């Protein structure tokens, strides 16, 4: 039996890579220093694994930005617009690479970056390869070989991790018409052959091909490509040992295809889909080994050894231990680095957690436990593990009977407003008296350096709570006055008191903890630190009433209350795995519901519940969509349905497409939905128009991602487009999203023009 991992976090436990990259980009350090940081991180990661006793240690899992972009560089899938970057003197391979990731704006060049998108259902983003008809590939970087050599120097015959050929193609985008990216497999295979030849010469024994697409819905053509590509690779390299790694879902209908690939080992994700084990054990051919992904690479919980051992023993019984490998479910880049740095966590909670470094140790412990060659301390470790699991099952920190009872008692009625939208609309209009094309914003106003410095000072104790409160009140009041002055109809308080739209709520809810160093790479040098939902969620006291009430007291106009919705809070956190996600979501929904009711009691008549993450929560397999959408939409409705008909509920969603989920969006039954729309020139509205979406909609009329100030005319034009497909009395006028990343200067100009556009459009009407 062997142990391995699919990949280790490369950012460093103190985010060393982030810092070095950013310093390099701003010209503060030289290339050599950045490369040194990279090498040091690789060596540290290898040593952690070597010391823990991992058998097959990966290399080429390191990356300065993104592993997919690495592959594009290696195979020479470099779009022609970057060729000029190479010609500039002093530019290294890494400069070209960063230009592809981030664009290049200097020395008279202005080249856009390549597109970025989410890596399957994670919060990691990869750079999308660009494909052209008859594209030729060419080995263009020594990255893989250098890393392999680096590991060798550290005394490790490493297992290079390479994105599988089919997955690499499926991740990319065809940039011209008239061909299918899978048709490029033949051309690409010649570069893969070169790579493997070199690695073999260097002494590589094992190669890991990541093929997560095998766990997704596949077309017939993709299936055929899998078979032909891997048969060809096998033929050309009879001696190399290949691992095909699948993760993020089960193989399901692709299982027979996967076990028929002529490789040495198949890795399966037994965390996401434990049910697949039996089927695979029954169908696996004799010459194929199985790598069991039993440790959750996507979450921060300590592994339940007893449970994992039952899987491993079952597999060993059937295949014999020589054909078994033990591993985490997927690469550990989705886990934070090292729990040892968490010195502020409640020790009871800390004892339930494992980050990447601890997961590496768990893999080895599991092997020692099954092999029976027990070192003395191993049984102790096992006992400790059982105790930790038991403590999580019973701890009063986690389990709150009141919350569970309340959640169990939720009925369909709790997820329903009192009357249908038609009745509500009339009642709301009577109270709110809003004009045609009412104007509003999405919630946040600029988080200036000053505002952020107040928060930092308050945290450090340099400002008292009272001083901080006064500063925030002044900023809020100024913002209210300003919105009044320019004539916005529905005001917001500006969200100056908030650091982040999930963290702000998590900090005030029971059942959440925050780590000090639990960073995970999101894209490039950007890292996020998701909150940990460890227990039953409840809301001890109101969270936003104070600020909404204060803002409302400053004006005669309506101020919109501002909340983050249950699905988004769930989606952007590490979620407990001892109950279904749907149950945790329902608990959060009840907490938000209480807040909505309290806002109403405090005189707030318009309340927005943001759900930008609803779409990204969609499961990878289409067959699972409806089940997810059912509980996600229900959670939103639970949060929104505690109020009277006259209270207007808004929701907001950005970067979404709605075509295939429009029915579910309508089912959320928000009185008003604001969406990001301007960059698509109102095209995203068509889904609502075709569906005859009955409630009100605010399609964003300007892009908040850039400092550019839109003209009144272009916004009027967009409003005309909107009116062509949606009746005017259903339309709101607002920006695409919150304004927290903008400066006041451009915000002021843009909103003044937006209000003027709305006025003119309503006169025209």
List, by residue number, the catalytic residues.
705
Using the contact rule CB under 6 A, the part of the chain among 129-137, 419-427, 665-673, 736-744 near ligand GLN is 736-744
The two tokens of residue 361 are 């140790």
The entry of Zn ion, ligand GLN, none near residue 656 (CB within 5 to 8 angstroms by kind) is none
Give the DSSP letter of residue 289.
E
Told to check if 750 binds ligand GLN by CB under 6 A, we report no
Told to check if 13 binds ligand GLN by CB under 6 A, we report no
The Cα-based distances of 139 to 4, 74, 77, 142, 143 in angstroms read 28, 6, 9, 8, 10
Which positions lie near Zn ion, rule CB under 5 A? 612, 654, 737
Nearer to ligand GLN by C-beta: 211 or 610? 610
Told to check if 751 binds ligand GLN by CB under 6 A, we report no
Nearer to ligand GLN by C-beta: 443 or 699? 443
Interacting positions 423-482 with ligand GLN (CB under 6 A): 442-444
The entry of Zn ion, ligand GLN, none near residue 586 (CB within 5 to 8 angstroms by kind) is none
Residue 95 CB neighbours (<10 A) = 16
Residue 16 assigned ligand-binding role: yes
Told to check if 610 binds ligand GLN by CB under 6 A, we report yes
Residue 88 assigned ligand-binding role: no
Shortest spacing between CB 714 and Zn ion, in angstroms:
20
The entry of Zn ion, ligand GLN, none near residue 506 (CB within 5 to 8 angstroms by kind) is none
The entry of Zn ion, ligand GLN, none near residue 444 (CB within 5 to 8 angstroms by kind) is ligand GLN
Instruction: Please say whether the dihedral angle defined by the alpha carbons of residues 477, 482, 485 and 487, taken in this order, is positive or negative.
Output: negative
At a CB cut-off of 8 Å and minimum separation 6, what does 547 contact? 472, 476, 493, 497
The two tokens of residue 396 are 């009063």
Told to check if 738 binds ligand GLN by CB under 6 A, we report yes
The two tokens of residue 358 are 């601890």
Are 641 and 565 in contact by the 8 Å Cβ rule? The answer is: no
Nearer to ligand GLN by C-beta: 360 or 649? 649
Are 68 and 129 in contact by the 8 Å Cβ rule? The answer is: yes
Told to check if 10 binds ligand GLN by CB under 6 A, we report no
Phi-psi category of residue 134: left, alpha or beta, with phi > 0 → left and psi -120 to 50 → alpha: left
Shortest spacing between CB 229 and ligand GLN, in angstroms:
40
Interacting positions 327-356 with ligand GLN (CB under 6 A): none
Query: How many residues are given for the chain?
Result: 765
User: Residue 636's closest CA among 666, 661, 602?
Assistant: 666
Residue 322 assigned ligand-binding role: no
Give CA–CA dist 166/760, Å, rounded: 53
Residue 676 assigned ligand-binding role: yes
DSSP per position, 678-696: GGGTTTTHHHHHHHT--SE
Shortest spacing between CB 74 and ligand GLN, in angstroms:
35
Residue 444 assigned ligand-binding role: yes
Residue 53 CA to its chain's centroid (Å): 31
Q: Which run of H or of E encompasses 675?
A: strand 672-675
Give CA–CA dist 293/271, Å, rounded: 7
Residue 54 assigned ligand-binding role: no
Told to check if 501 binds ligand GLN by CB under 6 A, we report yes
Nearer to ligand GLN by C-beta: 593 or 652? 652
Nearer to ligand GLN by C-beta: 199 or 704? 704
The two tokens of residue 242 are 């290949």
Residue 667 assigned ligand-binding role: yes
The entry of Zn ion, ligand GLN, none near residue 562 (CB within 5 to 8 angstroms by kind) is ligand GLN
Nearer to ligand GLN by C-beta: 501 or 513? 501
The site that binds ligand GLN (CB under 6 A) totals a number of residues, namely 13
The entry of Zn ion, ligand GLN, none near residue 66 (CB within 5 to 8 angstroms by kind) is none
Residue 90 assigned ligand-binding role: no
The entry of Zn ion, ligand GLN, none near residue 369 (CB within 5 to 8 angstroms by kind) is none
Residue 478 assigned ligand-binding role: no
User: Residue 196's closest CA among 171, 228, 230, 225?
Assistant: 230
3-state SS track over 283-326: HCCCCCEEEEEEECCCCCECCCHHHHHHHHHHHHHHHCHHHEEE
Interacting positions 543-562 with ligand GLN (CB under 6 A): 562
Shortest spacing between CB 669 and Zn ion, in angstroms:
20
The Cα-based distances of 359 to 102, 309, 720 in angstroms read 33, 15, 56
Are 46 and 21 in contact by the 8 Å Cβ rule? The answer is: no
Shortest spacing between CB 654 and Zn ion, in angstroms:
3
Give the DSSP letter of residue 114.
P
Nearer to ligand GLN by C-beta: 498 or 759? 498
Interacting positions 625-664 with ligand GLN (CB under 6 A): 652, 654
| Helix %, strand %, coil % of the chain (to 5) | 50, 15, 35
Give CA–CA dist 683/469, Å, rounded: 43
Residue 610 assigned ligand-binding role: yes
Give the DSSP letter of residue 439.
B
Give CA–CA dist 10/38, Å, rounded: 8
> Which positions make up the binding site for Zn(2+)?
652, 654, 667, 676, 737
> Which positions make up the binding site for L-methionine?
442-444, 495, 610
> Which positions make up the binding site for 5-methyltetrahydropteroyltri-L-glutamate?
15-18, 118, 123, 526-527, 572, 616
| Contacting positions for ligand GLN (CB under 6 A) | 442-444, 495, 501, 562, 610, 612, 652, 654, 737-738, 740
């Amino acid at each position: 039996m062997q142990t391995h991992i699919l990949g280790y976090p490369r950012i460093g436990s103190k985010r060393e890579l982030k810092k070095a990259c950013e310093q390099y980009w701003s010209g503060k350090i030289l290339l050599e220093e950045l490369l040194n940081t990279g090498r040091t991180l690789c060596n540290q990661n290898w040593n952690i694994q070597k010391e823990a006793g991992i058998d097959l240690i990966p290399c080429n899992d390191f990356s300065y930005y993104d592993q997919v972009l690495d592959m594009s560089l290696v195979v020479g899938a470099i779009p022609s617009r970057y060729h000029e970057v190479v010609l500039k003197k002093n530019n290294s391979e890494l400069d070209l690479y960063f230009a592809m990731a981030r664009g290049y704006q200097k020395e008279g060049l202005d080249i856009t970056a390549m597109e970025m998108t989410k890596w399957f259902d994670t919060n990691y983003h990869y750079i999308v390869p660009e494909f052209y008809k008859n594209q030729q590939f060419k080995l263009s970087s020594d990255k893989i070989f250098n890393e392999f050599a680096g590991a060798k120097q550290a005394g490790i015959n490493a297992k290079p991790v390479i994105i599988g050929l089919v997955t690499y193609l499926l991740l990319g985008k065809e940039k011209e018409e008239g061909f299918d990216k899978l048709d490029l497999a033949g051309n690409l295979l010649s570069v893969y052959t070169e790579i493997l030849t070199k690695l073999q010469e260097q002494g590589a024994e094992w190669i890991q091909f990541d093929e997560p697409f095998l766990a997704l819905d596949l077309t017939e053509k993709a299936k055929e490509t899998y078979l032909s590509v891997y048969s060809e690779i096998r033929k050309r390299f009879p001696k190399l040992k290949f691992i095909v790694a699948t993760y993020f879902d089960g193989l399901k209908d692709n299982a027979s295809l996967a076990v028929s690939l002529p490789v040495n080992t198949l890795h399966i994700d037994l965390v996401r889909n434990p049910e697949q084990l039996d089927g695979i054990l029954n169908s696996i051919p004799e010459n194929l080994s199985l790598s069991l992904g039993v440790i959750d690479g996507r979450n921060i919980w300590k592994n339940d050894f007893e449970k994992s051992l039952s899987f491993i023993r079952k597999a060993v019984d059937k295949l014999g231990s020589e054909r078994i490998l033990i591993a985490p479910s997927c690469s550990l880049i989705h886990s934070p680095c090292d729990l040892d740095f968490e010195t502020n966590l409640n020790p009871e909670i800390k004892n339930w957690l494992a980050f990447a470094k601890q997961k590496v140790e768990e893999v080895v412990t599991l092997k020692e436990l099954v092999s029976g060659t027990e070192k003395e301390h191993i049984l102790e470790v096992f006992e400790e593990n059982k105790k930790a699991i038991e403590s999580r099952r019973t701890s009063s920190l986690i389990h709150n009977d009141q919350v569970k009872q309340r959640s169990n008692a939720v009925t369909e009625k709790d997820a329903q407003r009192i009357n249908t939208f038609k009745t509500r609309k009339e009642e709301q209009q009577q109270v709110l008296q809003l004009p045609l094309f009412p104007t509003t914003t999405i919630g946040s106003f600029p988080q200036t350096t000053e505002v952020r410095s107040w928060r930092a000072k308050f945290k450090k104790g340099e400002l008292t709570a009272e001083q901080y409160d006064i500063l925030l009140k002044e900023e809020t009041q100024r913002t209210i006055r300003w919105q009044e002055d320019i004539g916005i109809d529905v005001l917001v308080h500006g969200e100056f008191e908030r650091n982040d739209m999930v963290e702000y709520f998590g900090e005030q809810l029971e059942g959440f903890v925050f780590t000090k160093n639990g960073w995970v790479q999101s894209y490039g040098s950007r890292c996020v630190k998701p909150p940990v939902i460890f227990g039953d969620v409840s809301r001890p006291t109101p969270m936003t009433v104070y600020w909404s009430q204060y803002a409302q007291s400053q004006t005669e106009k309506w101020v919109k209350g501002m909340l983050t919705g249950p699905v988004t809070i769930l989606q952007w956190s590490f979620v407990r795995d001892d109950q279904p996600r749907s149950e945790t979501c329902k608990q959060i929904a009840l907490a938000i519901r209480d807040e909505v009711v309290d806002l109403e009691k405090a005189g707030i008549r318009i309340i927005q519940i943001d759900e930008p993450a609803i779409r990204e929560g969609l499961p990878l397999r289409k067959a699972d969509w409806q089940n997810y959408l059912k509980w996600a939409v229900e959670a939103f409705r639970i949060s929104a349905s505690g109020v009277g008909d006259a209270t207007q509920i808004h929701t907001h969603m950005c970067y979404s497409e709605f075509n295939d989920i429009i029915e579910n969006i309508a089912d959320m039954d928000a009185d008003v939905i604001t969406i990001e729309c301007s960059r698509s020139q109102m095209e995203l509205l068509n889904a609502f128009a075709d569906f005859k979406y009955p409630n009100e909609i605010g399609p964003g009329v300007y892009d908040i991602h850039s400092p550019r100030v839109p003209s009144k005319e272009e916004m009027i034009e967009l409003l005309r487009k909107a009116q062509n497909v949606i009746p005017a009395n259903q339309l709101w006028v607002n920006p695409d999203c919150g304004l927290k990343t903008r400066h006041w200067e451009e915000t002021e100009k843009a909103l003044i023009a937006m209000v003027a556009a709305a006025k003119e459009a309503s006169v025209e009407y």
